[in-house]
Amino acid sequence: MNRKILKNLVICLLVVSFYYIPYVSAEEPGIPFDVTPIIGRPYLNPDDKGAEIEFMLQNKQASAIDNVRVYLFLQPPFSASHQSALEIEMNLDYIIGTGVNEDLHTRGFVLGTGQMSKTRFKMDVDKNARYGYYELPYTIYYDYNGAKTYTGKVNVRIAGNTLIEISDVTIDNKEIKPGDNFNINISLRNAGDNKIKWVKVALLPENTGIIPVSSASEKVFNDLLSEIQYTASFDFSIDKGIPPGNYLTTVSLNYQDENGALFNETRNIGIKVIDNSNLDIASIKIDPQRIYAGENVVLTIRIENNGQGDAKSVKADINIPLKGEKTAFLGTIKSDEDAPAVYALKTEESGEINYNLRITYKDDRGEHIKDQPLILVVYPRNANNTPFLFFGVLVIPAYFYWRKIYRKPHQPVE
């Protein structure tokens, strides 16, 4: 009885143990080696020569793999890197194929047990290659329990070019004069293929008389996409004492593209401070100081420039009803200087003569006209003889009286 129970117990344990043995499925058949494509650089550029792609093959089987051949199929913008026959014989472990699209392939070789093999291919990039990602197919042929193939693709990145363009410069106050405040806008555009991680824009005037209104004379932008426009706005003030002129200003661009490359560039723009000239009468001189009818007179009107900037092509005309030259050409009158307008005239009649002085000149703002009404006083001719007439009225009769008294013959004394 006990034996029978023991026997049954053993049978049950065997059955149970059989069902609890772990089940291991047969491994799916795959390639008998590991393959790792490696590109020598994280990205390639247009017109690169001799760019390398390496294939590492590691045999993971307990037996050798025969007749291994690696093929890399090239397509535009990539082509085989053609070198001299000596370089091919001594250095290259691959053959350049022929056809519409060149391929690169190795000679057949044996990949021993546990062995690792490295195969390098060299290729050129067309100079007109566009930015983007490209897939290059490859095939590995080998003999392992029969002829077999393995196919894959290598991802290659063409970085393209990195370029920031200043597309526009605008100033809100088109006529900048000494003492003015103005706003200047610098428009930037990512004109390259690559994304710009960040860019710092700084405006650096060479003249210390152009002063930032705020301390922020630089702007920073992040993640500039291609063909998108960005605007950096700056506020500046012009010192009152700065002379007019076109002032060179440097735009500094520091930026980094998506590949991590750093760029430092400068561009030049001009900030024009215009002439702000202003002409006025400084003095008027008349020679002689007292004018009588019928006399010649020299009229000198000094014209001063009390503005900031040169007054050019200055002309002064008087429309006075007298004979003589009535136009004076003064040329250029610089700031804080003056010039005489001289007129030689001939008076005819006495009285107050109203006339107008017209000054015309040019500066950076254009042509200007300024009129000033004036008066010239001409005295009558007899006004000059009044003292002599008074003298004659008193002196001449006295003279004749004196002659009558003292020139009479003396009578004899009796």
Between 361 and 405, the more confident residue is: 361
Q: For position 186, what pLDDT does the model report?
A: 92
SS3 track for the chain = CHHHHHHHHHHHHHHHHHHCCCCCCCCCCCCCEEEEEEECCCCECCCCCCEEEEEEEEECCCCCEEEEEEEEECCCCEEECCCCHHHHHHCCCEEECCCCCCEEEECCEEECCCCEEEEEEEEEECCCCCCEEEEEEEEEEEECCCEEEEEEEEEEEECCCCCEEEEEEEECCCCECCCCEEEEEEEEEECCCCCEEEEEEEEEECCCCEEECCCCCEEEEEEECCCCEEEEEEEEEECCCCCCEEEEEEEEEEEEECCCCEEEEEEEEEEEECCECCEEEEEEEEECCCCECCCEEEEEEEEEECCECCEEEEEEEECCCCEECCEEEEEEECCCCEEEEEEEEECCCCEEEEEEEEEEEEECCEEEEEEEEEEEEEECHHHHCHHHHHHHHHHHHHHHHHHHHHCCCCCCCC
Q: For position 328, what pLDDT does the model report?
A: 94
Q: For position 120, what pLDDT does the model report?
A: 87
Q: For position 167, what pLDDT does the model report?
A: 87
Q: In the predicted model, is pLDDT for residue 411 greater than 60? A: no
Q: In the predicted model, is pLDDT for residue 409 greater than 60? A: no
Q: Give the mean model confidence (pLDDT) for residues 219-237.
A: 89
Confidence of residue 306 (pLDDT cuts 50, 70, 90): confident
Q: Give the mean model confidence (pLDDT) for residues 253-277.
A: 87
Q: In the predicted model, is pLDDT for residue 90 greater than 80? A: no
With CA atoms as reference, report the closest residue to 257 among 40, 49, 42, 38. Answer: 42
Confidence of residue 273 (pLDDT cuts 50, 70, 90): confident
Q: In the predicted model, is pLDDT for residue 134 greater than 70? A: yes
Give the whole-angstrom CA distance, residue 45 versus residue 190.
18
CB 35 within 8 A of CB 89: no
Q: In the predicted model, is pLDDT for residue 369 greater than 80? A: yes
- Please give the domain boundaries of the chain with CATH numbers for all domains: 33-158 (2.60.40.830), 164-273 (2.60.40.10), 279-378 (2.60.40.10)
Q: For position 225, what pLDDT does the model report?
A: 84
Greatest mean pLDDT range, 15-24, 213-222, 224-233: 224-233
Residue 200 token pair: 């710092």
Q: For position 272, what pLDDT does the model report?
A: 87
Q: In the predicted model, is pLDDT for residue 403 greater than 60? A: no
Q: In the predicted model, is pLDDT for residue 22 greater than 80? A: no
Q: In the predicted model, is pLDDT for residue 97 greater than 80? A: no
Give the whole-angstrom CA distance, residue 57 versus residue 78.
24
Q: For position 217, what pLDDT does the model report?
A: 78
Report the chain's mean pLDDT, rounded to a whole number.
81
Task: Provide the CA 358 distance to its chain's centre, in angstroms.
Answer: 44
pTM of whole model > 0.75? no
